Chain A
Amino acid sequence: MDANKLVTFFEEDLCIFSLRSRKKFSALQEMIRHLAGTGRVSDEHFIMEMLKNRESLGSTGLGKGVAFPHGRSLAIKELTILFARSPGGVDFEALDSKPTRIFFLILAPSDKGADTYLALLSELISLVQKPNKLGELNKVKDYKTLIEILGGNGN
């Protein structure tokens, strides 16, 4: 997947540049509520339950201040990514125990295979490992800049 394809999954109304919640599940709830407000999910409850279960399998906070909560649910219509930035950091029980500031929430429909989101997950993880990308994401405050960081032209 190239950068041009990657940026097509990011939409302006699916970005939170100042996440208020500081605790793990309230942060997830805030992201899901935001998604529900855009009509992308049919039922917040199903998504929250699925994400809680996913976190019990092992934290999706991979460390270095980034988390990739993800999973499949019947309550999601199409592959969806929500970007969120927490200026103060969230206690997300990350693998390195440090606060999480950047979130890529990836949700896929349950009738599609896991491969529908694994490629996306892989691409995003590679991206945040590139020099400077994480620093730039930690400062991002608008959609246009986010798309530029992700490799698009921001238009």
Chain B
Amino acid sequence: MKEEFRLLIALQDLDIMIKETKDQSTSEELKNLGFKLTGLKELQEARVKLARKIPPVLINRYEKLMEHYTMAILPVTSDKCLGCFVRLPSVFFSAAHSHRLLTCENCGRMLYLL
């Protein structure tokens, strides 16, 4: 997989963590379990550094998708896009496409073949 795609996937994992930390219900639950969530600033700084390493065209596309959807990149676990549930073309599942980022032709989300 191209390094820029790897960075983009890492960015989404980080964005999910930041969102979870900002979510009052989730963070309260974690705090009640005994976790100290004091490093939100560090996470946000890590996000800035990571985003800088990704080509602008790709990050712009990712951020536009994130404005509309909960996740810009979805795993492919069946023959349908998990975002819009439209069937994916069979070419997606060829060995040549494994571990690459593809695009759902219907909704535009990026798809990651596990």
Interface size class of B (residues with CB under 8 A): 35 or more
Is B26 close to A, CB under 8 A?
Answer: yes
In the assembled complex, how far is the CB of residue A97 from the closest CB belonging to chain B, in whole angstroms? 13
Q: Contacting chain A: which of B37-45, B58-66, B89-97?
A: B37-45
B26-78 with Cβ < 8 A to chain A: 26, 29-30, 33-40, 42-43, 46, 71, 73-75, 77
The CA of A49 and the CA of B46, in the complex, are separated in Å by 11
Instruction: Report whether B43 and A72 are in contact in the complex, using a CB–CB cutoff of 8 Å.
Output: no
Is A111 close to B, CB under 8 A?
Answer: yes
Instruction: Report whether B33 and A46 are in contact in the complex, using a CB–CB cutoff of 8 Å.
Output: no
A50-B10, A109-B75, A111-B82 are contacts. A58–B39 as well, Cβ < 8 Å?
yes
Is B87 close to A, CB under 8 A?
Answer: no
Number of interface residues of A (CB under 8 A): 30
Residues from chain A with Cβ under 8 Å of B112 in the complex? 74
Interface centre among A45, A57, A118 (most CB of B within 10 A): A57
Is B80 close to A, CB under 8 A?
Answer: no
Q: Report the number of A-B residue pairs with Cβ-Cβ less than 8 Å.
A: 90
A77-B114, A110-B71 are contacts. A57–B39 as well, Cβ < 8 Å?
yes
Residues from chain B with Cβ under 8 Å of A114 in the complex? 20, 23, 26
CB closest chain-A residue, reference B19: A114
Of A59, A95, A121, the residue contacting B33 (CB under 8 A) is: A121
Binary CB contact string for chain A from 62 to 103 against chain B (1 if under 8 A, 0 otherwise): 110000000111110100000000000000000100000000
Of A59, A77, A111, A121, the residue contacting B74 (CB under 8 A) is: A111
Is B12 close to A, CB under 8 A?
Answer: yes
A42-B114, A46-B10, A111-B71 are contacts. A77–B77 as well, Cβ < 8 Å?
yes
CB closest chain-B residue, reference A49: B10
Is B13 close to A, CB under 8 A?
Answer: yes
Instruction: Report whether B17 and A74 are in contact in the complex, using a CB–CB cutoff of 8 Å.
Output: no
Residues from chain B with Cβ under 8 Å of A110 in the complex? 12-13, 16, 71, 75
Is A132 close to B, CB under 8 A?
Answer: no
The CA of A77 and the CA of B77, in the complex, are separated in Å by 8
The CA of A45 and the CA of B60, in the complex, are separated in Å by 24
In the assembled complex, how far is the CB of residue B100 from the closest CB belonging to chain A, in whole angstroms? 12
Interface residues of A (CB under 8 A from B): 42-43, 45-46, 49-50, 53-54, 56-60, 62-63, 71-75, 77, 95, 109-111, 114, 118, 121-122, 125
Interface residues of B (CB under 8 A from A): 1, 6, 9-10, 12-14, 16-17, 20-21, 23, 26, 29-30, 33-40, 42-43, 46, 71, 73-75, 77, 82, 99, 112, 114
